[in-house]
Structure 1
Amino acid sequence: MQHATTSAAVTGRTAAATPRRPLPGRQRRRLPPPAAVQPERQQQEGGQVPDAPPAPRPKGVKVELFETKGMDQSAAGAGAAGDNLVGALLSTIDFSEPMSFDGEEKTEYDPLRDGPLRYLGYANELGEAFAAWLFPGGVPLSYAIAIGYVCFDTYDKWGKTEEDARRKLTSRPIPDSVDLERLIKTIGFERGIDTLVWQLIASVATPGYTIHTVVAAANWALAKAEESSQVLAGLYATAAALGLSNEAFLTTFNKSVPTALGLLAIPFIVHPIDAGVHAVLNATLRPAMRRYICQEAGGCEAGLVICDCEAQR
């Protein structure tokens, strides 16, 4: 038995020493490189195995949604611009609301803007939506209510801004070369004009015209649809099921559908219109008024936060 084992070992060593030629059509099996088997050989010989370098870990992708803190705004805008053409266009438009003359944002509660009284500015939109149901003169009355709200809000913002400017500017050192009273009144006037123009466009003119267009389009579509005998037959069948006459049902139906569409459109147009009007004023009226406050009324000399005097020189 021992002789057989010895013979098998000798035969195995002889076979291992004799290199084999690869058969045709088969690939030669590659041995691992010496560096890969070196730690195993050292371990067998009792040596210490050096620490292998840690395997590289896959890099994670950090995704930040709705967060731009610590980022360069121009870089953020460039990233959005690289996504699509719409992102590039929107990144160049300023939709922000105006700051106060000292750079502070509004934090206090405003009953005209934050409370139920704000809905008075949408009176004309409701008037346009319910135009088919109102008495003659009802739609003009709704516009009168909305414009009255706009004028009252303008007066309120004008007076409060002037009072705030007087309280803050009289408590700080102002150069004698600055006409302080003129500067205070100009600051109040600027906020009043801004409020009046923004409210007339965003709360009265644009929404009223939009709702009027939606209602008119609905009336036109109904008139076209009712020219079809199949549509009329369906409406008459509905009237019969409800126990109403054809004329009464059609009158109610033709008034209700445009009114409902006009009301449904209001929530979808308010914020886009507000942001669009802010963008228009940020590109036209507001820079002009700010330049007048800073250059003509002495804002730069008074050190107002909104005045970038180095850029305006």
Structure 2
Amino acid sequence: MSESQADLFRDTPVRLIGYANEVGEAFRPLVHVFWVRLSYGIASAYVVADTIHKTVKMNQKEFESEKARRFGVFYAATDTLLWQSLASVIIPGFTINRICAGSLYLLNRTTKLPQTTRKWITTAIGLSCIPFIFKPIDNFVDYTMDNTIRKLTRQSS
């Protein structure tokens, strides 16, 4: 795979697997916590799969020395693991969790709809927000990492 080809884990529909936990968070009011945790397990498996993929890909490249190879492989693994953890699991999961909790709180305080109806509305709100949060979150994580950890590791390499 050349550098110009799409990244399987970030630029294709495979990326959606990383958002399994947001679907779990959206359904939290309606399902047993087991299913929410399972959704986090699926998203975490996606993060690990991308990390392994990027690490193996980096290890197959030509390097000037074994030390440079070890640094490149370590950097690829840690950068991918951190980026994917933040952009696919932690920040979007927290965001959808808070959107749903806030929605349910407001519905409980402002309507007399049956509890089941309020929970379904909350789930619909959470699910409808997912397509709108991933690009801003990805861009935020890129910006933050480019200006912190990536800047530091470039100086030390």
Q: Report the TM-score, using the length of structure 2 for normalisation.
A: 0.91
Task: Render the CA deviation track for 1:139-177: whole Å, top value 9, x for unaligned.
Answer: 11111111111011111101101212x2xx3xxxx5xxx
Q: Whole-Å Cα distance in 2 between the matches of residues 186 and 284 of structure 1?
A: 18
Task: Render the CA deviation track for 1:280-303: whole Å, top value 9, x for unaligned.
Answer: 11111101111222xxxxxxxxxx
Moved over 3 A (4+): none
Which 5+ residue runs of structure 1 have no aligned equivalent?
Answer: 1-104, 175-179, 227-231, 236-249, 294-313
What does 1:16-95 correspond to in 2, within 5 Å? Answer: none
Question: Equivalent residue of 1:132, what SS?
Answer: coil
| 1:255 paired residue number | 119
| 1:135 paired residue number | 32
Size of the aligned set, in residue pairs, is 156
Question: Equivalent residue of 1:113, what SS?
Answer: coil
| 1:291 paired residue number | 155
The code of the aligned residue for 1:140 comes to R
Identity between Structure 1 and Structure 2 (%) = 38
| 2:73 paired residue number | 188
Q: Whole-Å Cα distance in 2 between the matches of residues 219 and 143 of structure 1?
A: 21
TM-superposed deviation, 1:110 = 3.5
Q: Whole-Å Cα distance in 1 between the matches of residues 153 and 132 of structure 2?
A: 31
Q: 1:158 to 1:288 in 2, by over 3 A?
A: same
Q: Whole-Å Cα distance in 1 between the matches of residues 3 and 116 of structure 2?
A: 46
Match of 2:142 among 275, 278, 282: 278
Q: Whole-Å Cα distance in 1 between the matches of residues 151 and 60 of structure 2?
A: 23
Task: Render the CA deviation track for 1:223-249: whole Å, top value 9, x for unaligned.
Answer: 1113xxxxx4xx5xxxxxxxxxxxxxx
Question: Equivalent residue of 1:114, what SS?
Answer: coil
The code of the aligned residue for 1:208 comes to G
Which 5+ residue runs of structure 2 have no aligned equivalent?
Answer: none
| 1:116 paired residue number | 13
| 1:264 paired residue number | 128
| 1:152 paired residue number | 49
Q: Whole-Å Cα distance in 1 between the matches of residues 68 and 8 of structure 2?
A: 27
1:197 aligns with 2:86: no
> What is the root-mean-square deviation of aligned Cα atoms in Å?
1.7
Q: Whole-Å Cα distance in 2 between the matches of residues 209 and 285 of structure 1?
A: 22
The code of the aligned residue for 1:210 comes to T
TM-superposed deviation, 1:256 = 1.2
TM-superposed deviation, 1:109 = 3.6
**Higher RCO (C-alpha under 8 Å, 6+ residues apart):** 2
Q: Whole-Å Cα distance in 1 between the matches of residues 33 and 18 of structure 2?
A: 21
| 2:91 paired residue number | 206
Q: Whole-Å Cα distance in 1 between the matches of residues 15 and 140 of structure 2?
A: 19
Compare the two structures and name the one with the higher helix fraction.
2
Structure possessing the higher radius of gyration over alpha carbons: 1
TM-superposed deviation, 1:221 = 0.6
